[in-house]
Chain A
Amino acid sequence: MDMAFDALTDASDEALLVAYGNGDREAAALLTARLSPRVMGFAARMLGGDRHEAEDVTQEAMLRLWKIAPEWRQGEAKVTTWLYRVTSNLCTDRLRKKRAVDIDTIPEPADDAPGAAAGMIEADRARALQAALDALPERQRIAVTLRHLEDRTNPEIAEVLEISVEAVESLTARGKRALAALLSHRREELGYVED
């Protein structure tokens, strides 16, 4: 099934995946452009910001998508939900192989550079958030990342984690409280000023 290019750019993820399953390479190119940044962003958050590991996971997750394309049943699940679930599982597998972080331990700030009250740069805050994310239990990390960094809805996150929406809300709330606690130690260094 060959679609005209302008029809392709408007096509849903699902339509593109089915087209690729029938051999349409352009559909695969579009899916790669659309979806690999999402997978990469999520994987990097889960894996402590390690780009190399995140790229490995991204490639593996997309490969699984290519393999399942001919069997994809339309209207059952969203392609992104499926991909996030695969990525989540790949990440937790990798993390399990490393030592678990003790959630009662507040990590030392990775960066001791004076944070200058004058203007915080986004990069410092982003790094601080990543360090705090690294300290969260995996499922809280998944929930908070998908909700607040990948902008997914609670129902979709529930499908990714295969739990109820209430459970997602609980995970997200606990995760945010933990992040706030971790980040509050560095408030002044990070230039957060109360008015």
Chain B
Amino acid sequence: MSKTEHTMIDDAALEAFFVAARSEAPAPSDALMARIMADAEAEARARETSTVVARPVRPVRPGLIAAVIGALGGWPAVAGMVTATVAGAWFGFAAPDEVNSLAGGLLNIDSAATATMYQLEDIVPGGTGLAAILEEGA
């Protein structure tokens, strides 16, 4: 340190400079904050897109059954087919009214829903062809 004629300032005096500096702290501009937020968005988006990765291929099980299932598209597809088949059989057997309506009233001929939606003649094919000729004669 160079010698000086001035007396050294003490802690309290130094503190006055610190106080002044704190009140004059350089603040980030709005533009800077916007750039920082843009970076945050870019990083988040990059992470989100990179997590969508291709599923690894299911290893083929040995054996004939496995080969057949593989040909049908794997267990999930087979499970879906089984479900659809069972459901179809069930709907045909005991269609709930809602399903019956959705199916145009054709699933369960005897149901009330069907009766309100159709006259018997609508369901029984007879509007064209031989039936039409026969009707004319009636």
> Which chain A residues have a beta carbon within 8 Å of chain B's beta carbons?
20, 23, 25, 28-29, 32-33, 36-37, 39-41, 44-45, 49, 51, 54-55, 58-59, 62-63, 66-67, 69-70, 106, 122-123, 125-126, 128-130, 132, 148-149, 176-181, 183-185, 187-188, 192
Binds A, one of B30-38, B53-61, B97-105, B109-117: B30-38
Q: Specify the main secondary structure of chain B where it touches its partner.
A: helix
Q: Is the CB of A41 within 8 A of B20?
A: no
Give chain B residues whose Cβ lies under 8 Å from the Cβ of A125: 16-17, 20-21
Which of A54, A63, A66, A177 gathers most chain B CB within 10 Å?
Answer: A66
Q: Is the CB of B47 within 8 A of A70?
A: yes
Known contacts A67-B43, A181-B4: does B36 contact A58 (CB below 8 Å)?
Answer: yes
Q: Given the complex of chains A and B, what is the CA–CA distance between A58 and B28 in angstroms?
A: 8
| Cβ-Cβ contact count across A and B, 8 Å cutoff | 125
Q: Is the CB of A126 within 8 A of B24?
A: yes
> Which chain B residues have a beta carbon within 8 Å of chain A's beta carbons?
1-2, 4, 6-11, 13-29, 32-33, 35-37, 39-41, 43-44, 47-48
Q: Given the complex of chains A and B, what is the CA–CA distance between A178 and B8 in angstroms?
A: 10
Give chain B residues whose Cβ lies under 8 Å from the Cβ of A44: 25-26
Q: Which of B15, B17, B27, B39 contacts A40 (CB 8 A)?
A: B27
Q: Which of A36, A37, A40, A176 contacts B14 (CB 8 A)?
A: A176
Q: How far is the CB of B34 from chain A (nearest CB, A)?
A: 9
Q: Is the CB of A41 within 8 A of B35?
A: no
Q: Is the CB of A183 within 8 A of B14?
A: yes
Q: Given the complex of chains A and B, what is the CA–CA distance between A40 and B31 in angstroms?
A: 13
Q: Is the CB of B18 within 8 A of A55?
A: no
Q: How far is the CB of B41 from chain A (nearest CB, A)?
A: 7
Q: Which of B11, B17, B23, B48 contacts A23 (CB 8 A)?
A: B48
Q: Is the CB of B36 within 8 A of A59?
A: yes
Q: Is the CB of B20 within 8 A of A122?
A: yes
Q: Is the CB of B33 within 8 A of A36?
A: yes
Give chain B residues whose Cβ lies under 8 Å from the Cβ of A148: 15, 18
Q: Is the CB of B7 within 8 A of A184?
A: yes
Known contacts A59-B36, A106-B2, A176-B11: does B27 contact A126 (CB below 8 Å)?
Answer: no
Give chain B residues whose Cβ lies under 8 Å from the Cβ of A63: 36, 39, 43
The 8 closest A-B pairs by CB, nearest first: A125-B20, A126-B24, A28-B40, A44-B26, A122-B20, A66-B43, A40-B28, A129-B17
Q: How far is the CB of B43 from chain A (nearest CB, A)?
A: 4
Q: Give 13 pairs: A residue, B residue, CB < 8 Å, sorted on A.
A: A23-B47, A28-B44, A36-B36, A39-B28, A40-B27, A62-B36, A122-B23, A125-B17, A149-B18, A183-B13, A184-B4, A184-B7, A192-B13
